[in-house]
Amino acid sequence: MTEKLNAVVVGAGYWGPNLARNFRASPDWELAGICDLDIGRAQRVADSIGGVPVTASLDEVLADPTVDAIAIATPARTHHPIVLQALDAGKHVMVEKPLADDRVRGEEMVARAARSGRILMADHTYCYTPAVLKIRDLIAEGALGDILFVDSTRINLGLIQPDVDVFWDLAPHDLSIMDFVLPGGLATGSVSAHGSDPLGTGKACVGYLAMPLECGAMAHVTVNWLSPTKIRQMVIGGTKRTLVWDDLNPQQRISVYDRGVDIAAVSKETTPDRRDANISYRLGDTWSPALPEREALAGVVAEFAAAIREGRPARTSGEAGLRVLSVLDAAQRSLAAGGAPAPMKLDIQPRRAAA
Q: Is the pLDDT of residue 275 over 60?
A: no
The pLDDT > 70 percentage for the chain reads 92
pLDDT at res. 221: 98
User: Which pLDDT does position 269 carry in this prediction?
Assistant: 60
Rg of the chain on CA atoms, in Å:
22
Contact 83, 120 (CB under 8 A): yes
pTM reported for the whole predicted model? 0.90
Specify the higher pLDDT residue, 334 or 273. 334
What is the average pLDDT value for the chain, to the nearest integer?
Answer: 91
Whether 333 shows a pLDDT value over 80: the answer reads yes
| Between 162 and 299, residue with greater pLDDT | 299
Residues 202, 164 contacting (CB under 8 angstroms):
no
Q: How far apart are the C-alpha atoms of 219 and 306, rounded to whole Å?
A: 32
State the Cα–Cα distance between residues 349 and 126, nearest whole angstrom. 23
Residue 283, pLDDT above cutoff 90: no
Instruction: Give me the pLDDT at residue 271, please.
Output: 57
- Is the pLDDT at 243 greater than 70, yes or no? yes
**Residue 249 pLDDT > 80:** yes
Count of CB atoms within 10 A of residue 313's CB? 17
* Average pLDDT value for residue range 165-193: 94
* Domains detected in the chain: 5-125+297-322 (3.40.50.720), 127-289+339-343 (3.30.360.10)
Residues 218-227 have a mean pLDDT of 97
Q: Which of 212, 217, 234 is nearest to 154 (CA)?
A: 234
Rounded Cα distance between 281 and 329, Å, is 39
The pLDDT of residue 150: 97
CA distance 168 to 11: 20
DSSP for 208-268 reads EEEEEBTTS-EEEEEEESEEEEEEEEEEEEESS-EEEEETT-TT-SEEEE--EE-GGGS--
For a pLDDT cut of 90, what percent of the chain falls above it? 81
CA angle in degrees (0–180, nearest 5) for 179-93-129: 40
Q: Are strands 147-157 and 190-196 parallel, antiparallel or unpaired?
A: unpaired
Distance CA 85, CA 88 (A): 5
Res 352: pLDDT: 43
* DSSP for 267-286, written as a single string: ---SSHHHHHHT--EE---E
Name the pLDDT band for 34 (thresholds 50, 70, 90).
Answer: very high
3-state secondary structure of 120: strand
pLDDT of residue 295: 92
Prior bond of 198 cis (ω within 30°):
no
Q: ∠ at Cα 156 (153, 157), nearest 5°?
A: 155
pLDDT on residue 344: 86
pLDDT of 162 strictly over 70? yes
Which of 316, 79, 300, 77 is CA-nearest to residue 186?
Answer: 316
Query: Tens of pLDDT along 68-109?
Result: 999 999 999 999 999 999 999 999 999 999 999 999 999 999
